[in-house]
Every structure is written in C-alpha cells, then in structure tokens.
Amino acid sequence: MDSFEYVSAPHRVVFGRGTLQELPSMLEKIKVKAVLILCTPQQVSTAEEVKAIIGDTGIAIFSEATMHTPTHITDKAVLVAQEKGVDGIVSVGGGSTVGLGKALSIRTGLPHLCIPTTYAGSEMTPILGETENGRKVTRRDPRILPTAVLYDVELFKTLPVTMTVYSGINAIAHAVEALYATNRNPIIDLLAYEGIRTLCIALPLLQADGNDPAARQQALYGAWLCGMCLGAVDMALHHKLCHTLGGMFNLPHAETHVVLLPHALAYNATAPAAAGAMVKLAAALPEAEGDPVRGINALYQRLGIDLSLKGLGMSEGGVDEACDVAIANPYKNPRVLEREGIRELIRRAWAGEAAK
C-alpha cells in the first residue's frame, strides 16, 4: 500500500428514521439558540415542520434558496439573519438549499446545521459554488463544511421516484470519480465501494416502490458515503463536464450527471491509471461481470433511464462548443483529454446513445 494523507471532516452527523425530533438537542450541542431556517419556495411546509419542532428557537424562515446559489439571494439572507439577530442556520432541502446555508455561514461565521432531502451530497463537502452575473465560481474552504448534519429518511418520502433515481446516480458519480482520483486513498476507496454497492441495491427497489422504508434508508446511507468521497478527494472529467455543460446550457444538475456518467466512465475505463479503480467499480456494480461500463449500462437499463443532453434542451451545435471549453483548461484525469474522444463522448451523450 502506498503512503497517503487522509483528512477527516470533524463534524457531527445523526442518521436514521424520525431523527428530526433530535434537532433541539443537536442545536443545544452546537450551542445555537436562535435559528434562521432556509428552504426553497417548494419546501416551505418542510421548513414549517422544522420550525414547529424547535419552538421558540426557530426565529424565521427564509424560503428563497435557488439553484446555483446566486449571490444576490445570499445578500438578502444575510440581511434577514442580521435583522433577526440569529446565532445559527438550519438548511432543509437539496443541494441548492445547502448551498445557500454554506454561503450564509461563510459570510457571517454562523454555525450551520444541514438537513438534506436529496442525495446530492453537498452537506458532506467543504465546497461552495456561487453565481454572480451568470458566472459560477467554485471554491473549497474547510470553513464551508457544515457544523452538523441531520439525516432523516422520513424527509425523503416526498422526493418523487424519478428525482430519487437521478439524485442517487448523482451520488454514485461522486464515488466513481473518487475511485480514480489522483489523491485517492484506501479509506475513501472503502466508502466509494460501499456507497455505490448500497445505492445499486436500493435504487431499483425504490423505483419499484418509492415508499419502501428499508430501501430509502439504504439509499440515504449510500449517498452519505458518496458525499464524503466528493468532499475528500478531487473529481475529474465527469464532474468537470457536468459543471461546464450545466453552466453553458443551463441544464438541470442531477439529470446532467445521469446523462454524462456512463460516457465519462467509458472514456476513462481503458486508462492504465484507472485500472485498479475499474476492478473495484466492477465489483460494486451488479451485472458488471468485470466490466464497469457494462455494469453501469445494466443499472440504467434496470432503472429505465432514457435521458440525453438533447432531451435536456442542449442544441446540436453545443457539442463542439462544449468540447472546446471542456479541453481548454487542463485538469487531473486518469486519461489525457483528447479532442476527438471528448467530442465523441459529448456527441453520444447528446444523442442518447449507449456508452461504449
């Protein structure tokens, strides 16, 4: 085994069913007495549920969380936090709401407790992407990592089955790229393997029955592990492409991950630097029979996934445009970025062809 560095995230996590009831004691542990609750306009009722549980500690709800964390929304939230004199933040929602919580926390220094309701994994990372004048800038800072995380499976009952599947694949993508990250390590390998394996069991069960409580719990556990992978090591081609295409063509986050993952994986699968990762990945994917691309294609078939970049609204002309941007700034990836190969990858994803 090679030498390695492992940086663990020193934050508190509670996981289970009905754990929302433990919110008052968690807030006590992080010494927060007056909370601003964050959510999207679509999840106000969940935020109200949170407020009811914490009683007088819940000072106000700010319900303007938006995709890509626009700074003008954070400016508004900062003003509300100051006006109300809160000493802590609770974000309840998906990656968009967690993003607002992180942005508000780093600006104000207030402790941030996250209650995730999707599998995107942002709550486990010290990463924040913010948008100003249409430009998204992403940074990493240990102070961005939330102070505490409360996972309650019950909050996932309202997540529609298609979003469950897409968000679960989004989580799997973090673990796939962690396996071949240049700064990977054996601890993260374990989390990645277990995260993928668990989600591959849970997602087909949830697709058959979105109310299956054991499968929901398994999916959330797997997503937690995958989120830790995203937070701990560097991502490569797949995440860079999602970021580039998502920004250029305003594509939805989880769906873009779903479309690109098999193609980015197929591109990297033959790279000698990814050989060990592919063995581990094939072992985690059912039906892979030693071939991870076959494994991911089989998973998609089982889940009935039929998405394309074209279907998400990207024009055909965007293929070359996206390719130019994707190869313009070099980044760490197990296989060298070759124009022809990257263009073909994006073209296949655009047309909705199977990865190979």
Which stretches of the chain bind ligand NAD, using CB under 6 A?
40, 42-43, 67-68, 93-97, 99, 117-118, 120-122, 125, 127-129, 155-156, 158-159, 167, 230, 253-254
Taking the complex as a whole, how short is the minimal distance between the CB of residue 184 and ligand NAD, in angstroms?
18
Contact status, residue 227 vs residue 122, Cβ threshold 8 Å = yes
Exposed / middle / buried, residue 58 (Cβ in 10 Å: 0-12, 13-18, 19+): buried
User: CA–CA distance from 122 to each of 328, 341, 348 (Å)?
Assistant: 27, 30, 28
For ligand NAD, which residue has the nearest CB? 95
Q: In angstroms, give the least distance from the CB of 313 to ligand NAD.
A: 17
**Minimum separation from the CB atom of position 94 to ligand NAD (A):** 2
Closest distance of CB 336 from ligand NAD, Å: 27
Task: Output 222 or 295, the one with its CB closest to ligand NAD.
Answer: 222
Nearer to ligand NAD, 155 or 346 (CB): 155
Smallest distance from ligand NAD to CB 66, Å: 8
Residues 343/322, Cβ–Cβ less than 8 Å: no
Phi (first) and psi of residue 115, to 5 degrees: -125, 90
- Write the CA distances from 333 to 43, 96, 328, integer angstroms: 37, 27, 14
C-alpha span between 155 and 114 (Å, rounded)? 13
Nearer to ligand NAD, 156 or 300 (CB): 156
CA atoms within 13 Å, Cβ hemisphere of 240: 21
Closest listed residue to residue 36, CA positions, set 73, 102, 84: 84
Task: Pick between residue 154 and residue 344 the one whose CB is nearest to ligand NAD.
Answer: 154
Candidates 83, 125, 134; CA nearest to 101 is 125
Outline where 66-160 has alpha helix (H): 71-84, 95-108
Smallest gap, in angstroms, from Cβ of residue 33 to ligand NAD? Answer: 27
Closer to ligand NAD by CB, 96 or 218: give it.
96
**To the nearest 5 percent, what fractions of the chain are helix, strand and coil?**
60, 10, 30
Give the number of other Cβ atoms within 10 Å of residue 33's Cβ: 12
- Nearest to ligand NAD of 95, 262 (CB atom): 95
- Smallest gap from residue 31 Cβ to ligand NAD (A): 25
Which is closer to ligand NAD, CB of 32 or CB of 230?
Answer: 230
Instruction: Output 239 or 280, the one with its CB closest to ligand NAD.
Output: 239
Please report the sign of the dihedral spanned by the C-alpha atoms of residue 133, residue 136, residue 141, residue 143. Answer: positive
Taking the complex as a whole, how short is the minimal distance between the CB of residue 105 and ligand NAD, in angstroms?
Answer: 13
